[in-house]
Structure formats: C-alpha cells, structure tokens
Amino acid sequence: MQVIILGSGSPLPDPDRAGPSTLVRTPVGDLLFDCGRGVLMRAAAAGSGAGAFRAVFLTHLHSDHITDLNDIVTMRWAMSFQPNPLPLFGPVGTEALMRATEVMLEPDIGYRLAHHDDLQWRPSSTVTEVEQGVVFDEVGVRITVAPTDHSPVRPTLGFRIDAEDQSVVIAGDTVPCQGLEELCAGVDVLVHTVVRRDLIEQIGLPRLSDVIDYHSSVGGAARTAARNGVGTLVLTHLVPAPAPGTEQEWLDQAGAHFDGEVVLATDLLTIDVAR
C-alpha cells in the first residue's frame, strides 16, 4: 500500500496546505479518506481523480472534512462516459449529507444535462452509514471502523485498512480514546490529526483555544502510537500550521513519547507501507 497526504491543513485557509484528505493506494484501487478543500487539485497532482476513487470514506461531517464532496460528485459524473456511482462510507448522517449535496447541485445538473447530449444520466451514489466493525472487504483489502471521540461532534470514526501484511489507520479528528486504541494495535502507519497546545495557549484567542479539548495534542498522538506498537506516526491537520523552521519542534514533541518514526505531513507527502 501507499499513503499520500492530499491535504495536511485545517479549517484555516493556507496557501500551502489543502484541507484534510488522505489517499490510500491499495490492490483494489485508490481509497479516499475525507475530502477537504482542494482535494481534486491534489489528487490530480498524485495521478488520481474523482472517477478513479474506488470509494470515499468520511471520518465525520465537520465542514473542513467534507468541503469538496460536491466537487467529487460533479467531476465523477461529468467526466465519466457511463454511469459511475460514487461509493461513499461515513457516519450516521452521511446519507442526508449526500442528498442535500445533490439538491444544492440541482441547477448545475440541469445545465449540464441540457447542454451535453451524450450525458443522459444523473450523478448517483451508494451511501453506507457505518459505526463499528468490518465495512469493506474486497480482494484482500479489509477496512475496519471504530468510533472515536471528537465531542461534541458525534458520531466520528477512525478507519483501519489492512491489505496482505500491511496496515494503515486514519484517525480523523479525535482525542485519545478506546476506539482508536482498538484500531491502532500493531499498525504500520498511523495518520493522526494534531494540535500544538502550547502555541494555541500562547495565541490566547478563545475560539482557537476551543480546539484544544477535542483534538489530540502532539504528545497525545505520540503516546497512542507508543502504546500500540505503531511503526510510523504521521502528524497532519496541523493547528496552527508550522512556521518555516519550526518543524523540528513538532517532531521533538512526538519523539519525547514515541521512539518510532515520526513524519510531519505536507501536501503530497507519500509513504510506502512496508514491513
């Protein structure tokens, strides 16, 4: 397998970091986890795209993780030459999200149907709302989901992808919790959202400080990795985005609790998963 960080950013717009999104390349195709702003631009740079996604998985329905779902729906439909339903997996509420997205896109759908004679079908999807357990099992690729803790955002999910003897966990937004522990046992690569508590407290803005209690700190993610024998910890969804020259501070904070490999995500960072 291969992990490609399409977007390493957060809700805060950043010229160098697209919104949260991770592509996992597997024997059954490209699996997309979350679809923050700019996802299809980064997917194009990685040689993928809306029509190529074998499935899309949502960790939760916070706006920064679903901003460009509408772009995926439109481009998969408009750039396919036959019906190509989008397989979408996510927490309870995903079905309503998809139906609302289609309603929002209705004017555009009408314009394109009226203009393109060879486009004789509407965009479509197969939505599977998931909570826990194995949710995908195809040709040796198995995806397991467990609930995480991003309260008061509920429900939120983490995903584990296993293919042959390789494994990846997409933690999503969460604090350390039992569901994440269950997914992470012995995993090769853990992609974990993190915030810098020390920097946020120095900034002192109440609305920014609010993110501390429902995101893991760098140390918290590192301790989760250490407890579960993780091979490589990837820090992403970085709040605040690292200032140039401060990247080592993030690595040092993680290294104080975890002696495995730690990687600070940047857009299009690519990791080959290997035992």
| Residue 165 among the catalytic residues | no
Question: What is the number of other CB atoms lying within 10 angstroms of the CB of residue 24?
Answer: 26
Pick from 14, 27, 92: nearest CA to 54: 27
Structural domain of residue 157, as residue ranges? 2-272
Count structural domains, the chain: 1
Look up residue 21 and give its two tokens. 């999104």
* Amino acid in position 115: H
Which of 30, 34, 64, 173 is the catalytic position? 64
Query: What is the rounded CA–CA span in Å between residue 143 and residue 162?
Result: 6
Per-residue pLDDT of the chain (275 residues), as tens digits, is 999 999 999 999 999 999 999 999 999 999 999 999 999 999 999 999 999 999 999 999 999 999 999 999 999 999 999 999 999 999 999 999 999 999 999 999 999 999 999 999 999 999 999 999 999 999 999 999 999 999 999 999 999 999 989 999 999 999 999 999 999 999 999 999 999 999 999 998 998 899 999 999 999 999 999 999 999 999 999 999 999 999 999 999 999 999 999 999 999 999 999 86
In tens, the pLDDT along 204-238 reads 899 889 999 999 999 999 999 999 999 999 999 99
CATH number, domain at 218? Answer: 3.60.15.10
In tens, the pLDDT along 93-118 reads 999 999 999 999 999 999 999 999 99
